[in-house]
Structure 1
Amino acid sequence: MVRPLRSAVVGTGFIGQVHARAVRAAGGDLAWVASVDAAEAEGVARRQAADRWTVDWHDVLADSDVDVVHVCTPNNLHVEIATAALEAGKHVICEKPLATDVGAAAALAQLADRSGLVNAVPFAYRFYPTVRDARARLQRGDLGDVRLVHGSYLQDWLSRPGDVNWRVDPAQGGVSRAFGDIGVHWCDLVEFITGQRITRIAGRLFAIDRSGGPVQTEDGATVMFETELGAVGSVVISQVSPGRKNRLWLSVEGSEASAQFDQENPDTLWLGTRGANALVVRGTEGSTQGAARYNVLPVGHPMGYQDCFTALVGDVYATVRGEEVDGLPTFADGLRAAILTAAVMDASKTGGWIEVAR
């Protein structure tokens, strides 16, 4: 019998606990949780059935039985912890942004590549079956040539003037907040589904007035772009849109058909042609085989965000064991996100178009 992989989650906020649940659901053992807050670490360890907890993440790396380290801390700590974990011989899943600047992200991606260890960044929306379905349809030519890609990613958790969070502090979150936090998810889906790189960007950032103190990072962005094969697109990013809890919406429109994905209704994929439109429910006869690996629940039993994380962690574990999986987002994709973020920041400053490295 194969020993379950043993994982440690560093950081016990919302996303850290999503990771902890995914570890167990994917068949791993939760060996450690780490947090600078002892009460928080102990409480999460108890709730998530972790073997041990600590306030010092170095304890995790010193444990030779730990196979995989999940880095779920504030952004400014990602590079230090992920670097140390790789140097300790651990496989690493690091939350995005991989780093708060392109240079550090590039160095970390290069270290991960040289190490030969499995590395991943949780662009988890890739793991919705309907996203895989859309990608498979595009790959087999159902949509024809991609002409237009557009959509939005809207949240409201910072919409009140007094709303504050560590992410608004560039010392902890980095120079970009809204785009670096959620805009990169949208762009990752664009490049993952279409297979095309974004090569030119123009954009504008915006921020609301806040009574809670000065905020130096953006609340949202409007971005236009072009891809390497000539498709054009636009996206609106916002964390200050009242009533929009986590609405990632994406439309890919080709010469023959269009496909639309809505993260708040992820069990269906909208498909449209000149002659007819249809809603394809995941797992039904109309779905493609591209989604089969991730259809883990029967039709009629809704799948969601936590299922995506379980699938991602499961694919990391499969890769550690030598299996080949399709579409696992690695540190190279984390670097790509940093490059796109920097391009949006530069475009907003210059007011013009920015060429994006491929």
Structure 2
Amino acid sequence: MFDLDELLAMDLDLVHVCTPVQTHLPIARSAIEAGVATLVEKPVTENREELEELQSLADRHDVPVSVVHQHLFDPAVRKARRRIQDGSLGEIRGVNLLYLGLTRPDEANRGTWVFDLPGGEFEEGLPHPIYLTLGTGGYPRDESGIQTLTTLVGDYGGKFSYDNAQVQYATESGALCSVTMSSRGQPERLLHIQGEEGSLLIDLVTQSTVPVTRNYTGSPVNKARKNIDGSMGLVKGLFENVKLVAENSYSDDWESAKRLRPHYYQIDAMVEAVRRGTEPPIPLEEAWWTMTVMQAIRDASTEQPVETMPVD
């Protein structure tokens, strides 16, 4: 164990808060009031009110604060975001994410503290698909436009209110974004980004990307070409991933490690932002929208729950 006051009395540049979510705000508050830059694991706080207090503290003390949204720094997602930002996909018209096979609500992978959440362990993992959708498709046009649906499939003795969730919203530019999240079953993570000039289908498990840059409809030849181009995209992704793993295996330098591991990549970017005095890689605005979507899911699970036949 450590004494937080003793820790903060040292000459620190950055604190990384990796504790149960119920403790995030008090620990972060102490760090911010001590003038120490703070990086908080997801979910950033228990609710939006706590997050707004965190933002107020950061503004008042002029201390950089950010949240860990590490899967935005996965190799395939980094490349996709660069293509979005450089305009090579054209105007983004839609983002659809399937995030299936999440942990059941009643399994305590991260500790029994997750059982205090309405969705248990399942809910603890929801920030990942939510921020992936926000980070690639953009933020909702407004809070009232967020549509949510939840179901409760498992029988947990009344301890949890949902174990599946679906969210959709429109961005300011008119892009339609949706994310489907389910517990049980085999893990599947598929991200489809549709632009006017091209689309990307990303397998987040294998970190492979299949680009769509032409119209494949209209003839059997075009349809066959889609299969060929798709296969080439998968093979290219395989070789790129093998190269990353090989570089990391034969070299213990930080640069190789961070290219492969998204946590390392984001921490490195946060450290660099603190050193240079620039904005953190993940703004608290993104954390706010993540918490807003999370709250919409919680509200849907208690106000209009959709219960199905319980499954053991």
TM range (shorter): 0.7 to 0.9
Q: Does residue 1:114 correspond to 2:67, yes or no?
A: no
**Structure-1 separation of matches of 2:173 and 2:301:** 24
1:218 aligns with 2:171: no
Which residue of structure 1 aligns with residue 198 of structure 2?
A: 257
CA contact (8 A) 1:97 1:180 kept: no
In structure 1, the partner of 2:151 is 206
| Partner Cα distance (1:72, 1:250) in 2 | 27
For 1:221 and 1:205, the matched residues in 2 are separated by 4
Q: Is the 8 A contact 1:68 1:92 kept in 2?
A: yes
1:288-340 alpha-carbon deviations (Å, 9 max, x no partner): xxxxxxx9x75865889971111111111111211647x71133322221112
Answering whether residue 140 of structure 2 is matched by residue 197 of structure 1, we say yes
1:176-195 equivalence runs, <5 A: 176-177=119-120, 180-195=123-138
The question of whether the paired residues in 1 share the 8 Å contact of 2:35 and 2:63 is answered with yes
Aligned residue type for 1:203: T
- What is the aligned partner in structure 2 of residue 311 from structure 1? 265
* Secondary structure, aligned partner of 2:179: strand
Change over 3 Å in CA distance of 1:248–1:113 after alignment to 2: farther
Q: SS at the partner of 2:261?
A: helix
Match of 1:73 in 2: 19
Bigger mean CA deviation after superposition, 198-207 or 101-110: 198-207
* 1:233 paired to 2:177: yes
CA 1:217 to 1:99, structure 2 compared with 1: closer, same or farther past 3 Å?
farther
* Residue 337 (structure 1) aligned with residue 280 (structure 2): no
Q: Which residue of 2 aligns with 1:41?
A: none
Q: Is the 8 A contact 1:152 1:249 kept in 2?
A: yes
Structure 1, unpaired ranges of 5+: 1-53, 288-294, 353-358
In structure 1, C-alpha distance between the alignment counterparts of 2:79 and 2:41, rounded to whole Å:
25
- The separation in 2 between residues aligned to 1:235 and 1:179, in whole angstroms, is 15
TM-score w.r.t. length of structure 2: 0.75
1:180-232: CA deviation from partner (whole Å, max 9, x where unpaired): 53333223222322345354222222334446x54235322122322222222
| CA distance in structure 1 between the aligned counterparts of 2:293 and 2:265, rounded to whole angstroms | 26
Query: What is the TM-score of this pair, normalised by structure 1?
Result: 0.66
Q: Could you tell me whether the CA contact under 8 Å between 1:99 and 1:105 is conserved in 2? A: yes
Specify the code of the residue in structure 2 equivalent to 1:86: I
Verify the 8 A CA contact 1:283 1:299 in the aligned structure 2: no
- Higher percent of residues as helix: 2
Contact kept? 2:99, 2:180, Cα under 8 Å: yes
Change (3 A) 1:99 1:156: closer
Q: C-alpha separation between the residues in 2 aligned to 1:163 and 1:216?
A: 12
Q: Does 1:243 align with 2:186?
A: yes
RMSD, aligned α-carbons: 3.3
Aligned 8 A contact 2:21 2:46 in 1: yes
Q: Following the alignment from structure 1 to structure 2, what is the Cα–Cα distance between the partners of residues 336 and 103?
A: 12
- The count of residues paired between Structure 1 and Structure 2 equals 277
Secondary structure of 2:130 counterpart: helix
SS of the counterpart of 2:29?
helix
